């Protein structure tokens, strides 16, 4: 296809899935899960009213109870959670949408309050500096985690495999492995959080091993063409750093490229400010390394999204806050209509307000 002609409204085949446009609803933590970390009874309405997106990616969802680190995040490890998610996938499909589940393990970004008193687990016993989490008793600082033993790592991979199988049972169209934003898989990948001396630490090959083993296990359940991976090269959220991010993430991306996945989803870092230029970790750097479908995310608006598609630097663009506040974002972008303003007060927790009451253009 002539890339000059591609914009947000150009359909795309992702393996056997037909995406009706290039607009992806980014994964968004909303902390509204109910008793037993079952998705909110309002989640079917919330997601299905955004089914005009080419693809919806769910909020991060713990693949195992041990993978939780925030209050009221949903899981996909119990039968009740699978039943809860079925209502969501049914509603999205009835509305003509496609939906992938984001599978998550927070690693060190947790607290004993979520883990029956146990310490969070991580590649190494390094606490995130300046990071707290909301528990049932309010905001608490995150303690230093416990380093996973080598012989515990198969259980982590198994947790992702189990979550992937449950996501299939719940009727999703595919799954996204959360390898971004300083959670467990990112903690293994980046050298600021990984000081291991076994086969999961040291060299870049070793640090990428868990991510790739998890992706392979999940692909074993789903087929690789139904599996996406999200990475955040150069991201500093959750006190992350890597000394050689182009090498580290370049290796991971090249390895993922050999696996013929549904897509690679990159959160591009904020543009470097001031005197210390950062290495380029935008889609411009990764595009030549990844011939498959590339999603970019990082505060894109309509103009910048169309420009990145037109330049051939990405195939899809994910929108977070804009989809949160505009269920009919696709329609609004088509008409170049004004947008609702997202309200940060209602991003996390609470009820219907700020969740299922943002008006569409028609309703407004
Ligand atoms: C915001 C609040 C809690 C979690 C991520 C899953 O950053 C998250 C998250 C975001 O990927």
pLDDT tens, position by position, 272-324: 656 677 899 999 999 999 999 999 999 999 999 999 999 999 999 999 999 99
Query: Could you tell me what percent of the chain has a pLDDT over 70?
Result: 98
* Inter-residue contact 306 to 8 (CB < 8 Å): yes
pLDDT the model gives residue 15: 97
Band of residue 2 on the pLDDT scale cut at 50, 70, 90? low
Q: Is residue 69 part of a domain?
A: yes
**Could you list the residue range(s) of the whole structural domain that residue 281 is in?**
3-346
Q: Is the CB of 61 under 6 A from ligand 1?
A: no
CA separation for the pair 128, 287 (Å, rounded)? 31
Ligand 1 centroid to 29 CA: how many Å? 6
Q: Which atom of ligand 1 is nearest to the CA of 238?
A: 7
pLDDT at 245 > cutoff 60: yes
Helix (H, G, I), strand (E, B) or coil at 176: strand
Average pLDDT over residues 222-231: 98
Q: CATH number of the domain that 339 lies in?
A: 3.20.20.70
Helix (H) or strand (E) holding 86: helix 79-94
Let me know if residue 357 belongs to a domain.
no
Q: Is residue 358 a part of any domain in this protein? A: no
Mean of pLDDT values over 89-112: 98
Residue 210 Cβ contacting ligand 1 at under 6 Å: no
How many helical (H) and strand (E) elements, i.e. helices and strands, does the chain have?
11, 14
* Nearest protein Cα to ligand 1, atom 6: 60
Nearest protein Cα to ligand 1, atom 10? 29
**Left, alpha or beta for 312 (phi > 0: left; psi -120 to 50: alpha)?**
left
Per-residue pLDDT of 324-335, as tens digits, reads 999 999 999 999
Query: Looking at the predicted structure, is the pLDDT value of residue 171 above 70?
Result: yes
Atom of ligand 1 nearest to the CA of 106: 6
Q: Look up the pTM and report it.
A: 0.97
CB 341 within 8 A of CB 65: no
| Ligand 1 mean position, distance from CA 180 (Å) | 9
Model pLDDT for residues 337-346, shown as the tens digit of each residue: 999 999 999 9
Position 275 scores a pLDDT of 65
Please determine, for residue 259, whether its predicted confidence score (pLDDT) is greater than 80.
yes
29 CB within 6 A, ligand 1 = yes
Given the DSSP bridges, would you call strands 23-25 and 316-319 parallel, antiparallel or unpaired?
Answer: parallel
In a domain, 323, yes or no: yes
Which active-site residues does the annotation give?
A: 183
Q: With cut-offs at 50, 70 and 90, classify the pLDDT of residue 4.
A: low
Q: How many domains does the chain have?
A: 1
- Label the pairing between strands 294-297 and 55-62: unpaired
pLDDT tens, position by position, 127-140: 999 999 989 899 99
Residue 239 lies in a domain: yes
Whether 318 maps to a domain, the answer reads yes
- The predicted model gives 51-57 an average pLDDT of 99
Q: Tokens in use for 141? A: 């600082």
Nearest to 177 by CA among 98, 247, 259, 117: 259
Pairing of strands 146-147, 263-267: unpaired
Cα(28) to centroid(ligand 1), Å: 7
Radius of gyration for the alpha carbons in the chain, expressed in angstroms and rounded: 19
Does residue 287 lie in a domain region? yes
70 CB near ligand 1 (under 6 Å): yes
pLDDT at 176: 99
Residue 233: pLDDT over 60: yes
Are the C-beta atoms of 173 and 181 separated by less than 8 Å?
Answer: no
How far apart are alpha carbons 132 and 283 in whole angstroms?
Answer: 31
Residue whose Cα lies nearest atom 9 of ligand 1: it is 29
51 in a domain, yes or no? Answer: yes
Q: Which atom of ligand 1 is nearest to the CA of 104?
A: 6
Q: Is ligand 1 within 6 A of the CB of residue 185? A: no
């Amino acid at each position: 296809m002539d890339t000059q002609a591609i914009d947000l409204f150009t359909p795309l085949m992702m393996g056997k899935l037909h995406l009706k446009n290039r607009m992806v609803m980014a994964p968004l933590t909303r902390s509204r899960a109910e008793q037993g970390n079952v998705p909110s009874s309002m989640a079917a309405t919330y997601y299905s009213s955004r089914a005009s997106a080419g693809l919806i990616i769910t909020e991060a969802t713990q693949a195992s109870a041990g993978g939780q680190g925030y209050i009221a995040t949903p899981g996909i490890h119990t039968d009740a959670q699978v039943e809860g998610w079925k209502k969501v996938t049914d509603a999205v499909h009835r509305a003509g949408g496609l939906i992938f589940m984001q599978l998550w393990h927070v690693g060190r970004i947790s607290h004993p309050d979520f883990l029956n008193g146990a310490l969070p687990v991580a590649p190494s016993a390094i606490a995130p500096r300046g990071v707290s989490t909301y528990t049932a008793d309010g905001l608490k600082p995150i303690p230093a985690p416990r380093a996973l033993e080598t012989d515990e790592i198969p259980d982590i991979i198994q947790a992702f495999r189990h979550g992937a199988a449950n996501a299939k049972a719940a009727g999703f169209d595919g799954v996204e492995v959360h390898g971004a934003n300083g959670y467990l898989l990112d903690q293994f990948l980046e050298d600021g959080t990984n000081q291991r001396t076994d086969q999961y630490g040291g060299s870049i090959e070793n640090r990428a091993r868990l991510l790739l083993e998890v992706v392979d296990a999940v692909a074993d359940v789903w087929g690789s063409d139904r599996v996406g991976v999200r990475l955040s090269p150069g991201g500093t959220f959750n006190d992350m750093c890597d000394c050689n991010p182009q090498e580290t993430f370049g290796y991971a991306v090249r390895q993922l490229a050999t696996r013929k996945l549904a897509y690679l989803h990159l959160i591009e870092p904020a543009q470097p400010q001031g005197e210390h230029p950062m290495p380029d970790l935008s889609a411009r750097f990764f595009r030549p390394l990844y011939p498959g479908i590339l999603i970019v995310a990082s505060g894109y608006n309509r103009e910048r999204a169309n420009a990145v598609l037109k330049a051939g630097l990405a195939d899809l663009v994910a929108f977070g806050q804009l989809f949160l506040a505009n269920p009919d974002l696709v329609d609004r972008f088509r008409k170049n209509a004004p947008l609702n303003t997202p309200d940060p007060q209602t991003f996390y927790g609470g009820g219907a307000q700020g969740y299922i009451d943002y008006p569409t253009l028609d309703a407004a």
